[in-house]
Amino acid sequence: MNKTNDTLYPIGDVAHRTGLAVSAIRFYSDEGIVPATEVTSAGHRFYGVEAIARLEFIRTLRDLGTGLDQVRRLLDGETNLHYLLAEHLEMVEEQAAELGVRRAVLRALVRQDDPGHRITLLQGLVAMPDTARQQLLDDFWCEVGAELSPEEVERLRGGAPRLPDDPTAEQLEAWIALAELLRDPQFRADTREYLRDTSAAGGGAAMAAPAVQDFISSAAAGVMPKLMAAQVTGLAPDDPHTRRLVMQYADEVASATGMPVNDQLWNVMGRGFRVLEQVTQEALNDSDYLASYGRYLSLAATINGQPEPDAELDGASLGDFGEWFFASIQAARPSPGEPIGSRHV
C-alpha cells in the first residue's frame, strides 16, 4: 500500500522506525512534547510523518546527552538548534577536560611505588575537585592583578599550569603545592605587592604598555629569533644580513616606544643588551620575587614540564648574545655625521 504524508502510523511502527521504546513515545506524548497526531476512542495513538520526524530528532538529541528540558526548549522555539548544540559542546568539552586530568592523576598514582607517598598524593589531590582548582587559579589572578591592566594580567599569567596526560610524581606534587599557595592569604598579598611594585610603577608601567608588549611579542616571533640564530651560527656582527636584522629591530623598537631612530635609540639598544644578563640574574634572585611571583612561575613550569626561568636564551648565555648584539649595533648604526637610516642595506 502506498503511504502519503497524511498516513498515520500506530505507535508500534513509530517505535520501530525511530528506535524509541513504546513507553518513551507515550511519555513524550503525555508530557506534551510530541503529542499523538490522533488518539482513537479506544485510546490507541497514531502519529503522522511530522510527529515521527520530531521523535527521530529527539532520539538524536538524547543520544548526544541533551537534557529533556533542553529538548523541550528547542521544540517550543525558546532556543535554536545552533545555540543548543554549542551549549552542549561546551559542556562535553568541560567534561572531557576534567576526565583527562583525572586520567593523568590515576596514571601517576598507579606508577608510584611507595604506598605512603601514593596516599599522601591522593589525599592532596582529592582535597579539591579539578573545577574548584581552576576557579582558585582564576580568583588568585583576579585578586593579585587588581591594580594592573587586564592585558598585563594576561601576560603575567603566562602558560597556565596544566597537568600533562602522563604526569610524574614531581608534577603532581607541584600541582598540590600550587593549590595550597593560591589559597594562602599571605602569598596572595606578597604576589600582589610584588607585581604592583614591578609592573605598575615607574619603568614597569612603561614596559606594561600595550604598544611595548605588542612589540615584545612581535620581536619574539620575528626578528629576535633570527638575530639569536645568526649569533649561534657564527655570523659576524658586521655581516650584511646581521646589519639588516639589526636595522629592522631598531625600526620596531622605535615604533613601539615612539622614539625616532637616532643616536639615543642606538645607545639605549646597545646598553640594554650588554647588561641584560646581570639585570636578569638580579631579578631572578630577588628575595621578593622568589617568595611570590617567582614561586608561582617555578611551580607552573614544573607542572607544565618546562624549564624554570633563568638567564639562558635558547641554550646561549644572554651575556654572550648581548656582547655580539652590541657589536652588531656598532656595525649597523650610522657613523658620526652620517644620516640616520643611511646604513640600511
Q: What is the pLDDT of residue 39?
A: 93
pTM check: above 0.85? no
Is there a contact between 216 and 272 (Cβ–Cβ < 8 Å)?
Answer: no
Name the phi and psi angles at 335, rounded to 5.
-70, 160
Show the domains of the chain with their CATH numbers. 9-78 (1.10.1660.10), 84-197 (no CATH), 209-332 (no CATH)
**Cell numbers that stand for 302 in this block:** 614544573
Q: What is the predicted pLDDT for the residue at 203?
A: 43
The pLDDT, as a whole number, for residue 12 is 93
In this predicted structure, what is the pLDDT of residue 186? 94
Q: Could you tell me if 121 and 173 are in contact, meaning their C-beta atoms sit under 8 angstroms apart? A: yes
Q: What gap in Å lies between CA 280 and CA 228, rounded to an integer?
A: 17
Residue 187: predicted pLDDT = 93
Spell out the per-residue pLDDT of the chain, length 345, in tens. 344 457 899 999 999 998 899 999 999 999 888 999 999 999 999 999 888 988 888 888 888 777 888 888 887 777 776 776 777 677 777 777 667 666 766 676 676 666 766 666 565 555 566 677 778 888 999 999 888 888 778 877 766 788 777 777 788 778 878 887 888 899 999 999 988 887 654 444 444 445 444 444 444 456 777 887 888 788 898 999 989 988 888 887 777 667 788 878 777 776 666 555 555 566 667 788 888 888 898 888 888 887 665 544 444 555 567 778 888 888 888 765 444 444 444
pLDDT of residue 104: 65
DSSP state of 38: E
Please report the pLDDT score of residue 318 as a whole number.
54
3-state secondary structure the chain: CCCCCCCCEEHHHHHHHHCCCHHHHHHHHHCCCCCCCEECCCCCEEECHHHHHHHHHHHHHHHCCCCHHHHHHHHCCCCCHHHHHHHHHHHHHHHHHHHHHHHHHHHHHHHCCCHHHHHHHHHHHHCCCHHHHHHHHHHHHHHHCCCCCHHHHHHHHCCCCCCCCCCCHHHHHHHHHHHHHHHCHHHHHHHHHHHHHHHCCHHHHHHCCHHHHHHHHHHHHCHHHHHHHHHHCCCCCCCHHHHHHHHHHHHHHHHHHCCCCCHHHHHHHHHHHHCHHHHHHHHHCCHHHHHCHHHHHHHHHHHCCCCCCCCEECCEEHHHHHHHHHHHHHHHCCCCCCCCCCCCC
